[in-house]
């Protein structure tokens, strides 16, 4: 069947990404749904197709921690001439709660996966976005020190360069701080991109939204944590979500519930034209004070384009969003 549009969901193989893919594939059998992470150990695409009696979900491997692998992914995508992209859901992320981890490219790993790999993917695929395409960027309430963040350290955005290549002083920060900083970077980039889309290519109608799915007990985000917190996270907390919602915060949901909301942000008709906003679950709220700091947004945008573009010609293309 020739598909009308493509939807790409990074990290779409498990948890939030998986349920988002399932919802979109179900409601839009005319879309090709591509789920992409490093591995598909549980044959997620096959499971979605089987559950729906359809064939519109496929898995294509992607490693966001490597600039060269993201480029290879985009080249393959372009060569296969898939339909225009209706939604790019930038969902994959990892936490490294221990000491500093660097990618093969020499970049701090949390920032590399959550921000740099996704930004490159966006820039390379930008020409293939459909009119009115949507980009949805996963963030987290933990980016905001004024929210209930379960004891997560406050982000301290100094510069994109400092996040990418921590100095001896910032390298000593806890790994969970690097996570909250990467999630703040996700929103800074969302607002930076929104501003440039409106200024440079208003006719394309492309929108970008940031999303906090809320705490999702049982999801893979605690995969690097110690055995006891992991045990609580995987085996106890998912069973007591209604209680946790009362005792801790209403912003707690299952990956399935959060996935249905994410699917709405990516393709729901009522979200058409909405851009440069931050959603906590189904409702729009203000993000942190720091996230509205335009100097920080510009620092992140400029650093990212300069780091990723191979030369002046590509830099110009990345900037012009054509």
Contact residues toward ligand NAP (CB under 6 A) are 10-11, 13-17, 37-39, 62-65, 91-94, 113, 138, 140, 212-213, 215-216, 219-221, 255
* Nearer to ligand NAP (CB atom), residue 45 or residue 197: 45
List the beta strands (DSSP E) in 122-171.
129-138
Q: Quick one: CA torsion of 62, 63, 67, 69, rounded to 10 degrees?
A: -50
Contacts of 96 (CB under 8 A, 6+ apart): 109, 110, 175, 178, 179, 224
* Nearer to ligand NAP (CB atom), residue 101 or residue 158: 101
Least Å from the CB of residue 320 to ligand NAP: 27
* Nearer to ligand NAP (CB atom), residue 139 or residue 321: 139
Report in angstroms the alpha-carbon separations of 111 from 79, 145, 183, 227, 304.
29, 19, 9, 25, 11
Q: What is the DSSP string of 217-228?
A: TTSGGGTTS-HH
Least Å from the CB of residue 300 to ligand NAP: 17
Least Å from the CB of residue 65 to ligand NAP: 4
Name the DSSP class of 252: B
Report in angstroms the alpha-carbon separations of 273 from 130, 161, 195, 212, 304.
14, 32, 14, 19, 26
Least Å from the CB of residue 279 to ligand NAP: 12
Least Å from the CB of residue 235 to ligand NAP: 15
* Nearer to ligand NAP (CB atom), residue 85 or residue 92: 92
Least Å from the CB of residue 312 to ligand NAP: 29
* Nearer to ligand NAP (CB atom), residue 190 or residue 321: 190
Name the DSSP class of 155: P
* Nearer to ligand NAP (CB atom), residue 14 or residue 321: 14
């Amino acid at each position: 069947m020739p598909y009308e549009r493509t939807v790409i969901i990074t990290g779409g193989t498990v948890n939030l990404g998986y349920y988002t893919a399932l919802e979109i594939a179900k409601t839009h059998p005319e879309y090709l749904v591509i789920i992409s992470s490093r591995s598909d150990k549980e044959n997620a695409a096959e499971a979605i197709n089987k559950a729906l009696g359809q064939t519109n979900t496929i898995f294509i491997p992607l490693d966001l921690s490597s600039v060269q692998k993201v480029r290879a992914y985009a080249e393959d995508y372009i060569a296969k001439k898939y339909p225009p992209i209706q939604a790019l859901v930038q969902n994959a992320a990892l936490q490294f709660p221990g000491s500093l981890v660097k990618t093969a490219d020499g970049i701090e790993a949390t920032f590399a996966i959550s921000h740099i790999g996704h930004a490159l993917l966006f820039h390379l695929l930008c020409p293939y976005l459909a009119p009115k395409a949507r980009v949805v960027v996963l963030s987290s309430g933990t980016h905001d020190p004024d929210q209930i963040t379960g004891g997560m350290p406050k982000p301290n955005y100094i510069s994109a360069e400092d996040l990418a290549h921590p100095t001896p002083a910032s390298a000593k920060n806890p790994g969970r701080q690097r996570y909250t900083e990467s999630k703040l970077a996700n929103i800074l980039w969302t607002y930076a991109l929104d501003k440039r889309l409106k200024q440079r290519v208003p006719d394309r109608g492309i929108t970008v939204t940031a999303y906090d799915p809320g705490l999702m007990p049982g999801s893979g985000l605690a995969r690097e944590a110690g055995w006891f917190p992991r045990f609580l996270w995987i085996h106890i907390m998912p069973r007591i979500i209604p209680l946790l919602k009362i005792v801790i915060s209403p912003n707690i949901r299952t990956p399935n519930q959060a996935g249905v909301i994410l699917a709405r942000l990516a393709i729901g008709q009522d979200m058409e034209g909405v851009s440069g906003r931050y959603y906590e679950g189904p409702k729009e709220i203000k993000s942190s004070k720091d996230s509205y700091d335009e100097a920080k947004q510009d620092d992140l945008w400029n650093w990212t384009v300069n780091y990723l573009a191979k030369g002046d010609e590509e830099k110009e293309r990345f900037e012009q969003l054509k």
